[in-house]
Amino acid sequence: MEKQFALAGNPNSGKTSAFNHLTGANQYVGNWPGVTIERKSGLLKRSKMIALQDLPGIYSLSPYTPEEVITQEYLLNQKPDAIINIIDSSNLERNLYLTTQLLETGLPVVLGMNMMDIVKKNGQTINLSKLAYGLGVPVIGMSALKKTGLEKLIETTQEEAEKNTVAYPAYDPKLESALDEISDILGNTVSEKQVRWYAIKLFEKDPLATESLNLSSIQKKEIDDIIQITEKIFDDQSDAILVNERYEFITRLISLAMIKEDGFKLNLS
């Protein structure tokens, strides 16, 4: 059986550079259905049984830009065997925002920490083991420019795809209990692996997810009540609650994984 891995990440994180090294001449270039956004897929040089998909560059998985919608639909409906999240490690905080959402798709995720040559040149050190521990998924240092780490990245992704395990950030317990309640209301409307994704999207009042689920009016009412109560507790809008929680998770991760050198305080913003 052929396996399908997808490269996802911010624009200019190095996805296409990695894709080109990994697939070589085994590439197919077309367009995504209905849009003029280029679609590149190919077979891995090291195994023709693994297809690689180069997804459009995005900063988040929202329903607003065609690139975000393409990526979201591909991940949720085509369900690749694993996501390779290519990170510009010299812009860790910004890049990890998308990571929190990729983890919530219910697919196995491996982080390809790209641009490690730049991190090194800047005199920064990222503790990859601690980052992996904090995220709950493998984190592989690499440089698509210097062609380092790519073999290990693919080997690790193959292992994760076999195991098919998922990990996702845990947020404030008050938010978590709202998400649990929404998950209960969803029941088996969605698969077990995707229930967290949809619970979060419904909590954020994401129109794309809401439309796609075809909920009963009772389900909608119960979910609305949970959202209203939680907004009161946090004194904030539901979508803003999630954004804040994501950044708090990322801040904790970075303080765990970034090592300050030479007594200088790192400026990560």
Binding site for ligand GDP (CB under 6 A): 9, 11-17, 57, 114-115, 117-118, 143-145
DSSP the chain: --EEEEEEESTTSSHHHHHHHHHTT-EEEEE-TTS--EEEEEE-SS-TTEEEEEPPP-SS--SSSHHHHHHHHIIIII--SEEEEEEEGGGHHHHHHHHHHHHTTTS-EEEEEE-HHHHHHTT-EE-HHHHHHHHTS-EEE-BTTTTBSHHHHHHHHHHHHHHT--------HHHHHHHHHHHHHHGGGS-GGGHHHHHHHHHTT-HHHHHHH---HHHHHHHHHHHHHHHHHHTS-HHHHHHHHHHHHHHHHHHHHEEP-TTPPP---
Enumerate residues 191-230 that contact Mg ion by CB under 5 A: none
What is the C-alpha separation between 157 and 136, in angstroms, rounded? Answer: 14
Nearest 5°: CA angle at 35, between 32 and 39? 25
- Closest CB to ligand GDP among 121 and 221? 121
Cβ 15 to ligand GDP shortest distance, Å: 3
| x-marked contacts with Mg ion along 136-175 as a string, rule CB under 5 A | ----------------------------------------
Cβ 98 to K ion shortest distance, Å: 15
| x-marked contacts with K ion along 4-43 as a string, rule CB under 5 A | --------x-------------------------------
- Closest CB to K ion among 12 and 129? 12
* By CB under 5 A, residue 27 contacts Mg ion: no
- Closest CB to ligand GDP among 117 and 172? 117
Enumerate residues 223-252 that contact K ion by CB under 5 A: none
- Closest CB to Mg ion among 16 and 60? 16
- Closest CB to Mg ion among 10 and 157? 10
91 by Cβ neighbours in 10 Å (0-12 / 13-18 / 19+) ranks as middle
Q: One-letter amino acid identity for 55?
A: L
Cβ 209 to ligand GDP shortest distance, Å: 26
Q: Which does 40 bind (CB under 5 to 8 A by kind): ligand GDP, Mg ion, K ion, none?
A: none
Enumerate residues 2-21 that contact Mg ion by CB under 5 A: 15-16
Q: Which of 249, 262, 14 is nearest to 134 (CA)?
A: 249
Cβ 160 to K ion shortest distance, Å: 26
- Closest CB to K ion among 68 and 206? 68
Cβ 167 to ligand GDP shortest distance, Å: 24
Cβ 15 to Mg ion shortest distance, Å: 5
The residues of the shown chain that bind Mg ion, judged by CB under 5 A, are 15-16
Residues near K ion (CB under 5 A): 12
